[in-house]
Chains A and B, each alone.
Chain A
Amino acid sequence: MERGYWIRSKPVYTSLLWHEKATSHLIVAQGQGGMAVLKLLQLMHPKQPITVLYTPQSDADYSKTLLKVVPEGLHILDTEEKILQKLDSTLHTLYMGMRLYIAGSEDFMWTVAKVANKFGIEDAGMMKELTGTLARPIYCVHCKAITHDVTTNIGKCSGCGRMLFVRDHFSRHLGAYMGLMVDAESPGDLPEIEEIYP
């Protein structure tokens, strides 16, 4: 990418930090994101009620430590699907003033964001920390399918099988980066495929 050039649509992630002003805190984390939760709790145990939804991954499981450290409201669930269900039912019980924190892969964070969006929570109201991997969700501009966890500069579309060049343009609505067919001009003529989002 051109130096000094910054794509506006590209989300900026930070480290999780407590919102001082809040009525309650809801933290949703996946795999390595468990470390972000631990870091957060190192900073402070807030006086408002907290809920932590965590799904461990085979290569990153902080369940044991979280069980020791999280004072209340910890739910460890083994699949993303269960986490999203729990998130949905939890959001039903919370009021304005709830602060949402998310830690995990981009794919995970934007999947969580989509559930929160349904409750009228906008992106500006969520804090996100990218952990574990730079793997990108890609949506194919040709067939609209979303391919998850793409770690290379060029990835194969899970929908139509086209080879897609992974752009930096991000759609918050879809929660994915744009993928454009790379060999449209001369089919089969592919640049070298390299892992750049490990």
Chain B
Amino acid sequence: MSMIDVKVAAVEQVTPLVKHFTFVRQDGLAFPAFSGGSHVVVSMNVGGRVFRNPYSLMGSPADTSAYHISVRKQEHSRGGSLFMHESIEVGSSLQITYPVNLFALAKKAHKHILIAGGIGITPFMSQLFDLHRLNANFELHYAYRSPEHGAFADQLKASYGSQLRCYTDSQGGRIDLLALLSKQPLGTHVYVCGPNPMVVAVIETAKNLGWPDNTIHSEQFLSPGVGEPFKIHLKKSEIEVHVPADMSMLEAIELAGVEADYLCRGGVCGRCEVDVLESDGALLHHDHFLTDAEKASGKKIMPCVSRARCQKLVLDL
């Protein structure tokens, strides 16, 4: 996968847990233009081990001189976000992929309801530029733990005032999803990005009210959890690969020198899908991409987030 070499031009501590990074290109060229909701995968070399994490681009899509991402320090992370917080400073070098949009605004929508929880605000930051430029009808509902954790809330209030509603959990602020989604004009689309219970609640509420599936959009990158180590056999490459406890299958495959496709590395895009040719145990599917039937069939797996508990697993790679 072709990558862009970048240099960190600025780092800002936005909240106690969130840092904002500004990237410029090493070669001084302009970045590719992108659309609101896009993400890049940042590749980090942490003491010889490569981490690749997806982050939403949050600057204006019209600004190709710099890219902006925000990273929340994950308490139980395997290292990627910790590394960004502790080791990356102005002048550091990183590599990023070209932007990909898995969370695009629906062009035909007449109204957009954006619902963000915590760091889930990031993909909306770039979408808001697009919505504003298109003079679109939108509302942003932003929920966070406590006032000091409301990343960019002040900036958003200043720019979008009446279109923004903030909900502060510590002050009893809650989004009443049923009330919010019950009386929306025809042609409205809803978008949600945030913690899993929030994403599930929005999707369920909209579906139960009868919102068509194509009007409900969500983005939720999973991180490749930790698990038991296991072994895989790659049929085409004819090699055995050991997947350690704290590494995803995809990372282990890459480490073994085998090129595998990916876009999101978070179990949502479907790009990394591989065929399971043989297995003698359980596949532990963690992705949001395969249907339940596909998961049950045991014939496919998403190596970016899923694991296995078996003696033998043969993949078509």
Report whether over half of chain A's contact residues are helix, strand or loop; otherwise say mixed: loop
- Once bound together, how far apart are the Cα atoms of A121 and B186, in whole Å? 7
Choice from B182, B184, B186, B208 contacting A21 with Cβ under 8 Å: B208
- Once bound together, how far apart are the Cα atoms of A136 and B183, in whole Å? 38
For B, the interface residue count at a CB cutoff of 8 angstroms equals 22
- Once bound together, how far apart are the Cα atoms of A72 and B187, in whole Å? 25
Please give the distance in Å from B214's CB to the nearest CB on chain A: 5
B interface footprint on A15-31 (CB within 8 Å = 1, 0 otherwise): 00001011100000000
Q: Which of B223-256 contact A (CB under 8 A)?
A: none
Interface assignment of B188: CB less than 8 Å from any CB of chain A: yes
B212 touches A122 (CB 8 A): yes
Identify which of A32-40, A61-69, A94-102, A104-112 touches chain B. Answer: A94-102
B187 touches A19 (CB 8 A): no
Residues of B within 8 A of A23 (CB): 182, 209-210
- Once bound together, how far apart are the Cα atoms of A23 and B108, in whole Å? 22
| Residue of A whose beta carbon sits closest to that of B211 | A96
A95 touches B186 (CB 8 A): yes
Residues of B within 8 A of A125 (CB): 212, 214-215
A interface residues, Cβ below 8 angstroms from B: 19, 21-23, 91, 94-99, 119-122, 124-125
4 tightest Cβ-Cβ pairs between the two chains A and B: A120-B187, A22-B210, A97-B210, A120-B110
| Sample of 23 A–B contacts (CB below 8 Å) | A21-B207, A21-B208, A21-B209, A22-B209, A23-B210, A95-B183, A95-B184, A95-B186, A96-B181, A96-B210, A97-B182, A97-B211, A99-B210, A119-B187, A120-B108, A120-B109, A122-B108, A122-B214, A124-B213, A124-B214, A125-B212, A125-B214, A125-B215
